Amino acid sequence: MSGADEVAQAMQKAGKVIATSHVNPDGDGVGSLLAATVFLQDAGKTVFSCLPDLRKYPPQYEFLPGREALLEPEALPESCDVFLALDCSNLSRLEPLEKAFRSAALTVNVDHHEDNTFFADVNYVDPTASSTAELVYRIAEAASWRLDGRAATCLYAGLVTDTGGFRHRNATPSAFMLAAKLAAAGVDVQGVAREIYESQSLPYTRLLGIALTRTQWEDDLRLVFSYVTQADLAETGATLAETEDLIDHLRRVKGAAVVALFKELADGSVRVSLRSGDRLEVGPIARLLGGGGHAMAAGYTTSKDLENSIVELKDALRDRHA
Ligand SMILES: [Mn+2]
């Protein structure tokens, strides 16, 4: 029995399901969660969908069908038949929901991160999948759930963002085949692209300008990096939730081996996003520094201040080169 069949069977037996994704969710996190929500509701399940911190819901995904169903962790029931975690590599990324996780009769982990810790009773983890959205699609197929335009739109949002608009290594033949099926199911491809890629706020546009002006190049490491401070956010009125795609602007620099963006958080710690420019994989570096992610796209949070976090990354990269 395949992983998708096993999850489909567990879902078909369940009456009450809690579904969620990781803290600071990206397009695949919210897309796969909202698609699962739509599928499960249509299948007649009682679904409680939530995020560890709803305030961190990225504004460019507000348009997705099912968004209004998302609950605060406090609104969850005492227990459920199945707790479904999507696009989540480990339990710490679900922290405020740990009680709900522990009280579930069955826990299910559906993910494509290579560093997934297999933290649930049922683990459907496939690092060769383009996105968790692709795995949710396979589960829906195994369960014979009907794919309507709403679920397809959510899945497409996950697929298009996790593949970087079908430009990354994970833009596999099966990713393109899924895109075709979703488009055929009624996704407004142009509309989704406009919402996700052409709806940035004026404050964020100005913040982007500030960050791009600061771009630096470290020759021996072929490292391209920039940073965003709390003062930048205050000055422009932008929010950190809007900055998900900022690093994609940095990775456009030719010749980069590693691309890094340092974001100063409200408590003074720094969130570091990493992307591979070419062959060098950033996943192991992120893990070394206490984070995780994919081979080519990863990140971590450091308690060091902005200046020292930049030094910390350069040292880690030099150690790896040496
Ligand atoms: Mn993903």
**Strand, coil or helix: what is 255?**
coil
Residue 111 Cα, ligand 1 centroid: separation in angstroms?
A: 7
Residue 293 Cα, ligand 1 centroid: separation in angstroms?
A: 9
Co-location of 188 and 244 in the same domain: no
Range of the domain at 307: 202-321
Co-location of 123 and 236 in the same domain: no
b/e for 164-183, b at 16 or more Cβ within 10 A? beeebebbbeebeebbebbe
Torsional sign, CA 301, 303, 305, 307: negative
pLDDT of residue 300: 97
Unique residue bearing structure tokens 């969850």: 76
Residue 157 Cα, ligand 1 centroid: separation in angstroms?
A: 11
Pairing of strands 16-21, 216-218: unpaired
Say whether pTM exceeds 0.85. Answer: yes
pLDDT of residue 56: 87
Q: How far is CA 38 from the centre of its chain?
A: 19
- Domain end, chosen from 137, 166, 197, is at 197
Q: Bridge partners of 106? A: 82
Confidence grade of residue 279 (pLDDT, cut at 50, 70, 90): confident
Co-location of 263 and 131 in the same domain: no
Residue 231 Cα, ligand 1 centroid: separation in angstroms?
A: 30
**Stretch 89-104: mean pLDDT:** 94
Task: Check whether 322 has a pLDDT greater than 80.
Answer: no
Residue 233 Cα, ligand 1 centroid: separation in angstroms?
A: 27
Task: Check whether 213 has a pLDDT greater than 90.
Answer: yes
Residue 93 Cα, ligand 1 centroid: separation in angstroms?
A: 13
Residue 235 Cα, ligand 1 centroid: separation in angstroms?
A: 32
pLDDT (tens digit, 9 = 90+) per residue, 175-211? 999 999 999 999 999 999 999 999 999 999 999 999 9
- Domain end, chosen from 197, 221, 242, is at 197
Domain of 78, CATH number, reads 3.90.1640.10
Domain of 302, CATH number, reads 3.10.310.30
Residue 160 Cα, ligand 1 centroid: separation in angstroms?
A: 10
What is the C-alpha end-to-end distance of the chain, expressed in Å? 45
Q: E strands along the chain, which residues?
A: 16-21, 46-50, 80-86, 104-111, 122-125, 216-218, 223-228, 258-264, 270-276, 292-293, 297-302
pLDDT (tens digit, 9 = 90+) per residue, 14-66? 999 999 999 889 999 999 999 999 999 999 999 999 999 999 898 899 999 99
Co-location of 57 and 9 in the same domain: yes
- Domain end, chosen from 165, 182, 197, is at 197
Co-location of 129 and 236 in the same domain: no
Co-location of 161 and 217 in the same domain: no
- Cα–Cα distance measured from residue 222 to residue 254, given in angstroms and rounded to the nearest whole number: 10
CB 216 within 8 A of CB 225: yes
Residue 166 Cα, ligand 1 centroid: separation in angstroms?
A: 13
Co-location of 186 and 243 in the same domain: no
Residue 220 Cα, ligand 1 centroid: separation in angstroms?
A: 31
Ramachandran angles phi, psi of 18, nearest 5°: -105, 125
Residue 55 Cα, ligand 1 centroid: separation in angstroms?
A: 20
Residue 246 Cα, ligand 1 centroid: separation in angstroms?
A: 18
- Cα–Cα distance measured from residue 236 to residue 228, given in angstroms and rounded to the nearest whole number: 11
Co-location of 315 and 170 in the same domain: no
Residue 164 Cα, ligand 1 centroid: separation in angstroms?
A: 11
Q: Around Cβ 190, how many Cβ atoms within 10 Å?
A: 9
Residue 272 Cα, ligand 1 centroid: separation in angstroms?
A: 18
Torsional sign, CA 156, 89, 130, 285: positive
Co-location of 222 and 176 in the same domain: no
Co-location of 229 and 157 in the same domain: no
Residue 264 Cα, ligand 1 centroid: separation in angstroms?
A: 24
Residue 219 Cα, ligand 1 centroid: separation in angstroms?
A: 31
Co-location of 213 and 169 in the same domain: no
* Structural domain total, the chain: 2
Residues with CB under 5 A from ligand 1 (ion): 28, 87, 132, 162
**Residue 247 has which token pair?**
């690093």
Co-location of 57 and 104 in the same domain: yes
Residue 175 Cα, ligand 1 centroid: separation in angstroms?
A: 13
**Strand, coil or helix: what is 40?**
helix
